[in-house]
Chain A
Amino acid sequence: MKLLLLLENLVGARLYALMTKETRQILRDKQQLFLLMFPPIIQICLYGFALSPDVQDLRLAVTDECNSNKSRELTSALVENRVFKIGKSPLSLADMMKGIERGYIDAGVVIPPDFDRKISQGGPASIQLIIDAVDANTAGITQGYATQMISSYGRKLASTKRVRPVQSEVTYVYNPGLISAWFFVPGVLGLVLTLTGSLVSSVTLVKEKDSGTLEQLLMTPADSWEILIAKIVPLLVMLNGTVLLALCVGKVMFNLPFRGNFFLYMFVSNIYIFVVISIGIILATISKNQRQAILTSFFFNLPLIQLSGALSPIESMPDFFRMLSYLNPLRYYIQCIRNILLKGVGFDVMWKDISVLAVLAVVLLLSSAARFRKQLG
């Protein structure tokens, strides 16, 4: 009994010593530490401020050859709700065409001289609308908006009855102000965790291989799983720090709501941290040096991020990639934290996502640890 206790103590002390060594190694490299803390903040701010899919303030040019009351009314109907704004007007038709060609103007309207006459005759009066479609998605939305505004103005001309007999009352739930940062920040958190976590964990493992100190570690009485745990635990603590830091930045900079349960958030995040560390370990086992580890980490991380819905919605991906994304742990993680932060739903709603994530974490962790131990032996 006493012997067992002694043994346990010894193991504990050894593990503790190894962990101290790892922590010191991480803390000693000031540049590395700075780079662990600084990029997440910068990235979240940048993504939040720079990524905005809004279709608004499109530069519209109008060549009004009719120049009547009604044609001017049509122009003002188009710029009524901030989707379009009119730049330097009036332009000649040739200038307008050139502007669209060079990309200074997003859309151009030509109102022909007979516009007024056609309307007094009971229509239809045709106008020309040219849209720069280099950006296919924006062009589609622009087209939709413009047609809607033109037809609603046309209806106004046609009848005196102003109210539509059926009104749809649209309510935006979860994000009534339509703040795009609320969509991106949870996605970027997942992205940052993936990039930083897998990179740092693979590099700390490969470094020992690279410099040959791994053999020295193996010669010590420490068991291979002790070496592994000692490497994982400090990383776990640090990545938890990253998660909290990201949350604070989101709150301070973007007023990101936190509607769900904090412990559930930390729980899910920790499952994902294990996934990320396992990816790092796998990377470390297949690469011989740091450069290879770094390049292979890009090889894994790029598809992981692209197919996660962090930046562009999963619903709009082609079917094949949508199917593929079901295998992606990051997809589940981002979905969960968006649910917790924005929707405020709990375990009862997300249990499926969380269990899939947990299964992926366990499988990845076990297989990566097995691979690592095999390589040590």
Chain B
Amino acid sequence: MKKIHAQCKKELNQFVRDKLTLALAFVLPVLSLMLFGFGVRLEIKHIPLVVQNFDQGSLSLDLADRLFNNAQFDPHLWPGGHPLENALDKGFAKAGVIIPPDFSRNIRQGHQAYFQVFVDATDVNNARVMKNGIIGTTDGFLKANNLISSKTMIEPNIRLWFNPGRKESLYVVPGALGVVLWIFPSLLAALAMVRENESGTILQVYASSITAVEFLGGKILAYLIIAGVMAAFLILNANIFFNIGFVGDPTPYLFGVTFFLFSAVSFGTMIGTRTNSQSAAVQAVATGGFTTSLLLSGYLYPIRNIVFPLSYLTILVPARWFVQLSRDSFVRGGGWSYDWYLPIFLALGGLFFFRIAHKNLSTMQLKV
């Protein structure tokens, strides 16, 4: 116990000594949270749209007006003559509508009328949204001109649960907490471990009477303290800037976050024991930690969209469980009866990484 304490104190001293690192270690997570929270929006607005109207009938003008008035679209005029493909090719517009010359006439005569829509599908999600927007606008147009019955037969009463205003920050920020609290603690822990390898001070550790468990325990405890302060600071910031706070019982989250940070720090330490240079350690943490926590945690897009073999891999990603816990605690209002298993999973993950780190170091001998 004494040795763990001493090792932990040494790590904290070393950490506090480097002022730039200290500042970055606290500024960076907050900066990332702000970027994720303010910068990431999935719902699209202001789509540049061009309409090429070859028909000057009142119906076609009405349709064009309605498209332009849709808040999703930013209207641009595209004078006739130029092929519409140019507007999309040059990135001038994301969607182009062509209304043919016989549009109004066909409607008035009771024939089927068509208009053509080109949607830039480079960004797949937006392409779908644009299509829906155009279909919706067409419906409104038809109803307003009495072309289809405006009588509603079925009236859906829609309730949006948990987030009635559809505030995206309520979705993004709790998820981002999971990503940020995985990346930075594991990165700092990995750097602290690999530095001993790189500078050779690990040999002094080998030569001393400290055991692998004590050495790792001290290191992990130190970074767990740092990560804990970081987490508290981040949650405070999330509360101030995004108005996010606990809904319901916060205790599952408090246990969960402790075990999650333990997993993150152990993961970093494990990487640190395996790599032999700082840049290699960072690359490994970035690939093994950053990428997986960003992609396989369901932070941005739902997990069920992940394709088959990878979807099972998400079970092994602690960030996935933590993101779920975060959303349950901050948005849904979970409580022990719903989320009892999440802290347990996270603790198991931490023990797993600790075990591997311990195995790498157990002999406390120079590898030949």
What residue in chain A is nearest B306 (Cβ atoms)?
A50
- The CA-CA distance from A133 to B310 in the complex, in Å, is 25
Flag A95-134 by CB within 8 Å of B: 1 or 0 each.
0000011110000000000000001001111111111111
CA distance A170 to B147 in the complex (A): 21
B225 to chain A, nearest CB (A): 19
A279 CB to closest chain B CB, in angstroms? 15
Interface string of B323-354 (1 = CB under 8 A from A): 01001100110000010000000000000000
Contacts of A318 in B (CB 8 A): 38-39, 41
Residues of B within 8 A of A100 (CB): 161
A294 touches B282 (CB 8 A): yes
Q: State A182–B122 Cα separation when bound (angstroms).
A: 7
Q: For window 31-51 of chain B, which residues contact chain A by CB distance below 8 Å? A: 31-32, 35-36, 38-47
Decide: A50 and B39 in contact? CB cutoff 8 A.
Answer: no
In the complex, A137→B172 CA distance in Å? 10
* Contact status A102-B338, CB under 8 Å: yes
Give the segment of B209-217, B283-291, B357-365 that binds chain A: B283-291
**What are the residues of chain B within 8 A of A52 when measuring CB–CB?**
301, 305-307
Q: Is the CB of B287 within 8 A of A42?
A: yes
A170 CA to B121 CA, complexed, in Å: 11
- Say yes or no: A136 contacts B167, CB within 8 Å: yes
Instruction: Give A151-182 as 1s and 0s: 1 = Cβ < 8 Å from B's Cβ atoms.
Output: 10111011100011111111111111011101
In the complex, which of the residues B42, B112, B328 contacts A53, with contact meaning CB atoms closer than 8 Å?
Answer: B42
- B205 at interface, CB cutoff 8 A: no
Q: Which residue of A lies closest to B24 (CB)?
A: A295
Within 8 A of A (CB), among B100-137: 107, 110, 112-129, 131-132, 134-136
Tell me whether B90 is interfacial, beta carbon within 8 Å. yes
Q: In the complex, are the beta carbons of A146 and B21 less than 8 A apart?
A: no
Q: With A and B bound together, what is the CA distance between A126 and B156 in angstroms?
A: 6
The reply to whether the CB of A8 lies closer than 8 angstroms to some CB of chain B is: no
Contacts of B150-206 to chain A: CB distance below 8 A: 151-164, 166-168, 170-171, 187, 191, 195
Q: CB of A39 within 8 A of chain B?
A: yes
B12 contacts the other chain (CB 8 A): no
Q: Are B18 and A291 in contact (CB under 8 A)?
A: yes
Q: A148 touching B132 by the CB < 8 A rule?
A: yes
Known: A123-B153, A129-B158, A292-B24. A166 touches B141 (CB 8 A): yes
- Report the stretch among A231-239, A264-272, A339-347 that lies at the interface: A339-347
- Give the distance in Å from the alpha carbon of A214 to the alpha carbon of B135 in the complex: 65
Q: How far is the CA of A254 from the CA of B168 in the complex (A)?
A: 30
Q: Does B237 contact A (CB under 8 A)?
A: no
B28 in contact (CB, < 8 A): yes
CA distance A291 to B32 in the complex (A): 18
Nearest to A59 among chain B residues (CB) is B304
- Is there contact, CB below 8 Å, between A146 and B151? no
Max chain B C-beta neighbours (<10 A), residue from A141, A165, A166, A335: A166
Tell me if A140 and B166 are in contact (CB < 8 A). yes
Tell me whether B114 and A172 are in contact (CB under 8 A): no
Size bracket of the A interface: 35 or more
Name which residue of chain A comes closest to B331, CB basis: A134
In the complex, which residues of chain A have a beta carbon less than 8 angstroms from the beta carbon of B20?
Answer: 287-288, 292, 295-296
In the assembled complex, the CB of A109 is this many whole angstroms from the nearest CB of chain B, namely 8
> Once the chains bind, are B116 and A180 in contact (CB under 8 Å)?
no
| Contacting pair B24 A299 (CB below 8 A) | yes
Q: Measured between alpha carbons, how far is A349 from B118 in the docked complex, in Å?
A: 19
Which of B28, B115, B279 contacts A298 (CB under 8 A)?
A: B28
Complex: A122 Cα to B154 Cα, angstroms: 10
- B121 touches which one: A46, A172, A313 (CB < 8 A)? A172
| Contact residues in A for B276 (Cβ distance below 8 Å) | 31
B24 and A316 contact, CB distance less than 8 A: no
Contacts of B129 in A (CB 8 A): 141
**Cβ-neighbour of B279 out of A38, A199, A316 (below 8 A):** A199
Say yes or no: is B243 at the interface (Cβ < 8 Å to chain A).
no
B71: A residues at CB distance < 8 A: none
Taking a contact as CB atoms under 8 Å apart, the answer to whether A134 and B113 are in contact is no
Known: A174-B121, A315-B126, A316-B41. A130 touches B18 (CB 8 A): no
A168 and B134 in contact (CB under 8 A), knowing A101-B332, A137-B168, A137-B171?
yes
Given A35-B283, A339-B91, the answer on whether A316 and B163 have CB atoms closer than 8 Å is no
The verdict on A46 contacting B291 (CB below 8 Å), with A166-B141, A299-B31 known, is: yes
* B356 within 8 Å of A (CB atoms): no
Residue in chain B with minimal CB distance to A131 = B160
Question: Across the interface, which residues of B come within 8 angstroms of A164, CB to CB?
Answer: 142, 148
A132 nearest CB neighbor, chain B only: B161
- Cα of A42 to Cα of B294 in the assembled complex, Å: 13
State A169–B42 Cα separation when bound (angstroms).
Answer: 26
Give chain B's interface residues, CB within 8 Å of chain A.
Answer: 18, 20-21, 24-25, 27-28, 31-32, 35-36, 38-47, 63, 85, 88-91, 94, 107, 110, 112-129, 131-132, 134-136, 138-139, 141-142, 147-149, 151-164, 166-168, 170-171, 187, 191, 195, 275-280, 282-284, 286-287, 291-292, 295-296, 300-302, 304-307, 310, 324, 327-328, 331-332, 338
Some 24 contacts from A to B, beta carbons below 8 A apart, are A32-B283, A35-B284, A35-B287, A102-B338, A123-B155, A125-B155, A130-B159, A130-B161, A132-B161, A133-B160, A141-B132, A148-B136, A151-B154, A166-B112, A173-B120, A175-B124, A179-B124, A183-B122, A199-B283, A294-B282, A303-B31, A312-B39, A313-B126, A345-B89
Residues of A within 8 A of B (CB): 29, 31-32, 35-36, 38-39, 42-43, 46-47, 49-57, 74, 100-103, 119, 122-141, 143-148, 150-151, 153-155, 157-159, 163-176, 178-180, 182-183, 195-196, 199-200, 203, 287-292, 294-296, 298-299, 302-303, 306-307, 311-313, 315-318, 321, 335, 338-339, 342-343, 345, 349
Besides A42-B291, A53-B42, A315-B46, 15 more A-B contacts (Cβ < 8 Å) are A32-B277, A32-B283, A47-B291, A51-B300, A119-B153, A133-B162, A150-B156, A169-B114, A171-B117, A173-B85, A178-B128, A183-B125, A315-B94, A342-B122, A343-B122
